[in-house]
Structure 1
Amino acid sequence: MTPMLTPEETTTTQAAAAAHPRVIPAVAEVRQKVKQDLRMGRAYQQGRINWITTIAMGLFHVGAIAALFFFSWKNLLAFAVMYFFAINVGIGMAYHRLLTHRGYKTPKWVEYFLTMCGTLALEGGPIFWVATHRVHHQNSDDEGDPHTPHDGSWWAHAGWILSGRALHSETALLGRYAPDLTRDPVHVWLSKYHWVPLTISGILLGVIGGLATHSVMGGISMILWGTFLRVTVGLHATWLVNSATHMWGKRRFQTKDDSRNNWWVALLTGGEGWHNNHHAHPVSARHGLAWYEFDVNYYGIWLLSKIGLAKKIQIAKFDPHDPKPAGA
């Protein structure tokens, strides 16, 4: 994806270029700066630890371990329900296939609800997530890729989150890769306050758990399972898409990167593990392209279409005897 100027910048620079032809090189410089600013590979990071992120991740991992000492079927149910809405609905269906690649369309209120589910995963707001993923596709397994295993398997998995520049609050910079979202005040709000839905859901889980067990400990244990353990498992599941599916698995398509189809990552993420399929046909809302490639996230999109809440669903078309990436 080519870096984009905001509409205001485009109008200003076009007018300036018309009045003063010599301004055109300056426009090129701006575009080049945008490209440089959004290169997120290890070589472009400053090497320091993001202490706020690292401490937060550490606390969630401690909470996840603590949850294992408070098993109950109610807590497991809370984990499963919250995991489905955060990872399958929020990350897979919303952040990835809807917002990043526009593989299908929904009414705005549905888009906002799905996006809110994505904030429950603690993977940042929609603008940060979408911009980062679009940069990944532009520089996949090349210089500037935010999380390529070429920079190390640990870096690809979690190192890129724990160190380097923290871009979550730099909406203007990230917006150059997600101008469609920065023009939408709801997405801007969800990006700025992406922690609010997760906090509210945690409080509600505590209330539900307390009422269901008639004890404070019941509420705390449900928070541990439905928030801390669920978020931690979901983070690693998503991070495995960045790391494992660029190292292990099969390649149906000869893409320019190292993407692979990995069945066990697909199992953890609802279909995001069919990563070689995705990199070959990024706009396709369906990632599991064979009958045996289960794709829960696509089934959710299909279900929305059957009740009139999703349309213009993009499905990859290819010759199974001679599979080629889109545009090849």
Structure 2
Amino acid sequence: MDSDALFSLGEPAAAPSAPAGPSGVDGFTAVGEDSPLPVRMRPASIDELVGQDHLLAPGAPLRQLVGGGAPMSVILWGPPGSGKTTIAHLVARATDRRFVAMSALSAGVKDVRAVIDTARRQRRAGGPQTVLFIDEVHRFSKTQQDSLLAAVEDRTVTLLAATTENPYFSVISPLLSRCVLLTLQPLDDAAVRGLLRRAVTDQRGLGGALTLDPEAEDHLVRLAGGDVRKALTALEAAAASAVATGAARIDLATTEQAVDVAAVRYDRDGDAHYDVTSAFIKSMRGSDVDAALHWLARMLVAGEDARFIARRLVIFASEDVGMADPTALGVATAAAHAVEYVGLP
């Protein structure tokens, strides 16, 4: 099962005790010393979560869900590494409700109905309420999603579902109308950077055994693209490479070798920004298609604002191409409008 990542920048808090499930604490695989770094670095309480401030205000649905204040069913929609499964872990730990976790990749209608039947019997006997977590719920067919409707409607189970797909297209309308939809956003660079530093020093992570060079840190942040799980997985690989060579620090070369992705030498606010932009324009001016595509790709991979590039193309079409091809300005303007209105594909 995926291990999404919302993490803490503060000191880790002690996790409340919870009953052990069949595959580990709270129905998830138990965390051990050999668990992946993103799993080990999960927060222990909702106050340690970082990156979803719009969902963490006092009284917000997410806080109510984790605290057990309201038995509402929730669908968590967000990109990989934004914290969906982490929230499920917090829900499992923070309440005295029975927690059952399953993945839509392997579960079927029979498994769902078994959980619902058990929840119904326990509820009639005065037992705890059941929280059913379904990861990748968009993988369920319409029939499988239909099997949840009655139980969610009468609160036999409290549904907690996670999806990376747009639920308005991937989740049936009757189920969507019975749940609160919470949208998670990718973490920004500052949050990812802080969590990388935390993982380097925290005893659950690298424990200060290695240091992370600023250039390597920048590379990991760019590589992550808002996915904290990806950043921490790359950090773990780089740390293993550094240990294997007997190094005391994780430098850029080690990081590049570990993740097999070359760092893009580009600074949006420094000399590289202007140098690469100039090379891009000069390549087009010299009709060198391959070179122009190289510099364009370099800017985009490094995270340059596509709208800036589109504006430069409008200027180029007007000043450099001009009347040699009167249609160039129209094409460039249309492309700039498309980027502004829709963004990159």
Q: TM-score, normalised by structure 1?
A: 0.21
* Structure of greater Rg: 2
Q: Looking at secondary structure, tell me which structure has more strand per residue.
A: 2
Q: Say which structure, 1 or 2, has more relative contact order (CA 8 Å, 6+ apart).
A: 1
